[in-house]
A and B are shown apart, each in its own frame.
Chain A
Amino acid sequence: MRTVTDSHRQDSWDIEGAGTLAVDPKELREPLVEGKPDLRDVTETVSGVVESKPTRLWYATVTLTGGLAAWGILTIIYTTMTGIGVWGNNQPVGWAWDITNFVFWIGIGHAGTLISAILFLFRQKWRTAINRAAEAMTIFAVICALIFPVIHTGRPWVAVYWLLPLPNQMEMWVNFRSPLLWDVFAVSTYFAVSLMFWFVGLVPDFATLRNRAKNRIVKAVWTFVSLGWTGANRHWHRYEKAYLILAGISTPLVLSVHTIVSFDFAVSVLPGWHTTIFPPYFVAGAIFSGFGMVLTLMILARKLLNLEQFITVKHIENMNKVLMATGLMVGYAYGIEFFIAWYSGNPFERFAFINRAFGPYSWAYWTMVTCNVFIPQLFWFRKIRRNLAITWVISIFVNIGMWFERFVIIATSLHRDFLPSSWGYFIPTWVDVSIFAGTVGLFLTMFLLFAKYIPVLAISEVKGILPGAQPSHSHH
Chain B
Amino acid sequence: MKKTAGMTGLFHDPDAVLAAAAEIRRAGYRKFDFHTPYPLHGLDEAMGVKRTVLPWISLGAGVLGTAVALHLQWWTGAVDYPLVIGGKPLFALPPSIPIAFELTVLFCAIATVVGMFALNGLPRWFSKWQHDEHFTRSTDDAFVVTVDAGDPHYDTDQTQALLESLGAEQVRVVEYEDQ
Interface, chain A (partner B; CB < 8 A): 38-40, 43, 165, 171-177, 179, 181-182, 185-186, 189, 192-193, 196-197, 199-200, 204, 207-208, 210-212, 223-224, 227-242, 245-246, 249-250, 252-253, 256, 260, 263, 459-461, 463-464, 468-474, 476
Contacts and interface: CB of A to CB of B under 8 A. Distances in A.
B171 interface: no
A175 B15 CA distance: 59
A242 B120 CA distance: 12
Contacts of B42: 470-471, 473-474
B77 to A, nearest CB: 6
B145 to A, nearest CB: 10
Contact of B101 (A231, A241, A256, A472): A256
13 contacts: A40-B141, A43-B141, A173-B81, A177-B77, A212-B136, A230-B135, A233-B34, A233-B44, A252-B101, A256-B101, A256-B102, A470-B42, A471-B18
Contact of B125 (A175, A223, A234, A463): A223
B2 interface: no
A252 B105 contact: yes
Contact of A233 (B33, B55, B77): B33
Given A199-B113, A231-B138, A472-B14, 10 more contacts: A171-B81, A193-B105, A242-B112, A245-B54, A245-B55, A245-B58, A256-B98, A256-B101, A460-B39, A463-B38
Interface residues of B, number: 67
Interface in B54-91: 54-55, 58, 62, 72-73, 76-77, 80-81, 83, 85-86, 88
Given A39-B140, A165-B76, A249-B109, A233 B129 contact: no
Nearest to B34: A233
Contact of A237 (B44, B95, B99, B110): B44
Contact of B113 (A38, A172, A210, A242): A242
A249 B39 contact: no
B141 A236 contact: no
Contact of A232 (B34, B80, B101): B34
The 4 A-B residue pairs whose C-beta atoms are closest, nearest first, are A227-B123, A242-B116, A39-B141, A464-B38
A231 B139 contact: yes
Given A460-B37, A471-B18, A192 B139 contact: no
Nearest to A41: B141
Interface of B: 14-15, 17-18, 33-44, 47, 49, 52, 54-55, 58, 62, 72-73, 76-77, 80-81, 83, 85-86, 88, 95-96, 98-99, 101-103, 105-106, 108-110, 112-113, 115-117, 119-120, 122-127, 129-130, 135-136, 138-141, 146
Given A192-B109, A238-B119, A256-B102, A471 B33 contact: no
A174 B83 CA distance: 11
A196 B119 CA distance: 17
A192 B122 CA distance: 20
Contact of B49 (A181, A230, A233, A474): A233
Contact of B122 (A165, A176, A228, A468): A228
Contacts of A212: 136, 140
B105 A208 contact: no
A229 B122 contact: yes
B98 A185 contact: yes
Given A182-B98, A182-B99, A189-B102, A241 B116 contact: yes
Contacts of B77: 173, 176-177
Nearest to B104: A249
B105 A241 contact: no
A39 B103 CA distance: 40
Contact of B103 (A189, A204, A471): A189
Given A200-B116, A238-B52, A242-B115, A228 B124 contact: yes
A123 B122 CA distance: 28
A282 B37 CA distance: 39
B96 A176 contact: yes
Given A173-B76, A232-B34, A196 B110 contact: yes
A175 B110 CA distance: 26
A348 B38 CA distance: 59
Nearest to A200: B113
Given A165-B76, A182-B99, A242-B54, A233 B85 contact: no
Nearest to B15: A471
Nearest to A179: B98
A207 B35 CA distance: 12
B141 A246 contact: no
A172 B85 CA distance: 13
Contact of B139 (A185, A204, A245, A461): A204
